[in-house]
Amino acid sequence: MASVMEAFNASATPVQATFEATIASVNTGVVGKLLENTSAFSIFTTLFAIAVVYDQVSYWNQKGNLVGPSWKLPFMGPFLQSVKPSFEEYYVKWLSAPLSCVSVFHKFVIIASTRDMARKVFNSPAYVKPVVVDVAKKLLRPENWVFLDGKAHVEYRKGLNGLFTRSALDTYLPGQQEIYREYFANFMQESQEAGAPKKWVRHLRELMCAVSCRTFVGHYMSRAQVKKIADDYYLITAALELVNFPIILPFTKTWYGKKASDAVLEVFTNCAAKAKVRMRQKGAEPECIMDRWILQMMESERYRERLASGEKVPNEEKPAQLLRVFSDFEISMTIFTFLFASQDATSSACSWLLQILADSPPLLAKLREEGNKIRPDPKQFVTLDMLENMSYTRAVVKETLRYRPPVTMVPYQVKKDFPVSDTYTAKKGSMIIPSTWLALHDPEAYPNPDVFDPERWISGNAEEQGKNWLVFGTGPHYCIGQTYATLNLMLMIHMLSSEYDWSHKITPESEIIRVFATIFPMDDLFLQFSKRQPVVAA
Ligand code: HEM
């Protein structure tokens, strides 16, 4: 061994001579003698044993005093159990300690489950950055804005804020209402044809995908393209499960997910090209997020041209955000992040909302009463003012988000050693996952947390529990679409309940939570829709 080291260190020795000397010394030395009596199999098993020990020791080293399994299944850890994660297993983990751990493949994962631990992670951008899951970078593309960090992220995000202001949200309402009317009519027809309750989660996912696509890219996409994205979207979700094989191999979940996400990116790139052409036409009004963004880019360009031509432009004519011109593909990547962030979360919220209200007729009656007062004619256009006045509808939506938070875990990556608590420092490179569930089911903030009670948002003090309200995260990456998401769910449930009835077939699995990126009723929600009988005034 010594001679091998010497050969490496002797930089003046010609390579050939070094190699020969090394082989000679191996042949005659202790190592050579050992090798003579050793089979390839025993070398392999020895190396394997060393690797197993190394894997275990480095797990202990990272684990420190954290609560978690003392032993790790070599290399893969609990990968096989995690392929089909059960909510109960996660729940037990969250309850086990404010900080606990697990190691899957090469990844050491720390789970921050209490409100304060979760908040600490969300609010420590100096130490952590969002990671989603490893494969997300391959699907969304590494250069995507959501992977920006620090100042670059803050700056990029500022340029997107204008897409979610009150006046922007107002612009998107007509398109959303068009989609809801069309889909609800289809729901009813399909229910009539079926003649019995059917699993409805898939339909709700398609509905949410269609309403998102209309909001994000307006009419630039055909109905067939929306349907294709909605149908294939579960492939993307499946590829992004918290635990998945880290390399994209053909015909695996991640491979199908990558193909589906490439197709989405291509469609959105085409939409961006069309939007740029339309928005340059005289009098073109923005109808969707893409339009508004392109309009802002055009306004910024015009402002710069005026300055360049030597004009003294008054300050009040300066655009609120000066944007550069983004390429069609850059626009597509960003719009994809909106779909990516909203699709599963809104589908989850929508599923629970329909289940809970169908199972609680008095709550549904109260929601309808409010809707009827504010918009007596179900054919009337729903304005933003109307929605903002629906305080009970808002309470029902917020309580659904609290009671069944769609996003229970938000994976972050530790970018430098992070002293999470007085006694534990997370090592650079590990994953740390704040969980939202315990904060949202904290009996001190929300008394009787396992009871669905919209009143806590009206006569109770739930609105004052800002520290516990982690549904949309907190810190520099908090959900940019939170106001839009809440109003959209309010619009959906208001429009549905004012014109339709739906019944829910309760099964033993209705209340069991299935984890599929977000959370859904395990039985996939058996629903049946019918036209609501007109309300006769007393
Ligand atoms: C009920 C629906 C939704 C829920 C529960 C939800 C929840 C979340 C959560 C927990 C985060 C992580 C926050 C953090 O790390 O602090 C997040 C981030 C994000 N959400 Fe949402 N979201 C929803 C809907 C939407 C919608 C409709 C959009 C877009 C229109 C959207 C866009 C985003 C984006 C872009 C991010 C990343 C922000 C950043 O990194 O700066 N979300 N969301």
Distance, CA of 218 to CA of 287 (rounded, Å): 6
In terms of phi and psi (left: phi > 0; alpha: psi -120 to 50; beta: otherwise), the region of 154 is alpha
The amino acid present at 387, given as its one-letter code, is L
Ligand 1 atom nearest to CA at 475: 16
Residues of the chain with pLDDT under 70: 1-37, 74-83, 105, 132, 241-246, 534-538
- Enumerate domains of the chain plus CATH numbers: 1-37 (no CATH), 139-410+485-531 (1.10.630.10)
350 lines ligand 1 (CB under 6 A): no
337 lines ligand 1 (CB under 6 A): yes
Question: Cα of 337 to ligand 1 centre, how many Å?
Answer: 9
473 lines ligand 1 (CB under 6 A): yes
As annotated, the binding site for heme includes 479
**Which tokens is 5 given?**
């080291």
411 lines ligand 1 (CB under 6 A): no
Question: Cα of 339 to ligand 1 centre, how many Å?
Answer: 10
Which of 129, 401, 479 to mutate to test ligand 1, by most ligand atoms within 8 A of the CB atom?
479
Instruction: Name the residue with the closest Cα to ligand 1, atom 3.
Output: 345
Q: How many CB atoms lie within 10 A of CB 525?
A: 26
Q: Please give the pLDDT value at position 20.
A: 46
Question: Cα of 286 to ligand 1 centre, how many Å?
Answer: 23
Distance, CA of 52 to CA of 64 (rounded, Å): 19
Distance, CA of 235 to CA of 139 (rounded, Å): 11
Instruction: Name the residue with the closest Cα to ligand 1, atom 39.
Output: 477
406 lines ligand 1 (CB under 6 A): yes
Question: Cα of 516 to ligand 1 centre, how many Å?
Answer: 17
Which residues, 6+ apart, have CB-to-CB distance to 352 below 8 Å?
A: 400, 403, 404, 519, 521
* Chain centre to alpha carbon of residue 358: 27
Q: Please give the pLDDT value at position 32.
A: 60
Distance, CA of 219 to CA of 375 (rounded, Å): 27
Distance, CA of 278 to CA of 285 (rounded, Å): 9
Instruction: Name the residue with the closest Cα to ligand 1, atom 40.
Output: 477
Ligand 1 atom nearest to CA at 412: 15
146 lines ligand 1 (CB under 6 A): yes
- State whether the Cα torsion 21-22-25-27 is positive or negative: negative
User: Mind listing the pLDDT tens digit for each residue in 467-517?
Assistant: 999 999 999 999 999 999 999 999 999 999 999 999 999 999 999 999 988
The amino acid present at 312, given as its one-letter code, is K
Q: Please give the pLDDT value at position 125.
A: 96
Ligand 1 atom nearest to CA at 160: 35
472 lines ligand 1 (CB under 6 A): yes
Q: How many CB atoms lie within 10 A of CB 475?
A: 16
412 lines ligand 1 (CB under 6 A): no
Question: Cα of 457 to ligand 1 centre, how many Å?
Answer: 22
- State whether the Cα torsion 443-446-447-448 is positive or negative: negative
Q: Please give the pLDDT value at position 8.
A: 26
3-state SS assignment for residue 425: strand
Report whether 378 contacts 521 (CB < 8 A).
Answer: no
Report whether 341 contacts 481 (CB < 8 A).
Answer: yes
Question: Cα of 319 to ligand 1 centre, how many Å?
Answer: 26
Distance, CA of 396 to CA of 450 (rounded, Å): 15
Question: Cα of 502 to ligand 1 centre, how many Å?
Answer: 29
Alpha helix positions (H), 328-415: 328-359, 361-374, 384-388, 391-403
Say whether the ipTM exceeds 0.90. yes
Question: Cα of 472 to ligand 1 centre, how many Å?
Answer: 6
- State whether the Cα torsion 230-231-235-237 is positive or negative: positive
Q: Phi first, then psi: what are they for 227, rounded to 5°?
A: -60, -40
457 lines ligand 1 (CB under 6 A): no
Q: What is Dmax (Cα atoms) for the chain? A: 106
Distance, CA of 427 to CA of 431 (rounded, Å): 9
**Which tokens is 501 given?**
């009835």
CB contact burial 366-382 (16+ within 10 A = b; e otherwise): bbbebbeebbeebeeeb
Which residues, 6+ apart, have CB-to-CB distance to 246 below 8 Å?
A: 105, 106, 134, 135
Of 466, 463, 460, 468, the C-alpha closest to 441 is: 468
407 lines ligand 1 (CB under 6 A): yes
Report whether 349 contacts 330 (CB < 8 A).
Answer: no
Question: Cα of 486 to ligand 1 centre, how many Å?
Answer: 11
478 lines ligand 1 (CB under 6 A): yes
Which of 137, 157, 401, 472 to mutate to test ligand 1, by most ligand atoms within 8 A of the CB atom?
472
475 lines ligand 1 (CB under 6 A): yes
Q: What pTM does this model have?
A: 0.88
Ligand 1 atom nearest to CA at 484: 27
Question: Cα of 349 to ligand 1 centre, how many Å?
Answer: 13
As annotated, the binding site includes 479
Ligand 1 atom nearest to CA at 348: 1
Report whether 367 contacts 396 (CB < 8 A).
Answer: yes
Question: Cα of 477 to ligand 1 centre, how many Å?
Answer: 8
367 lines ligand 1 (CB under 6 A): no
What beta strand segments (E) does 190-276 contain? 198-199
Report whether 4 contacts 22 (CB < 8 A).
Answer: yes
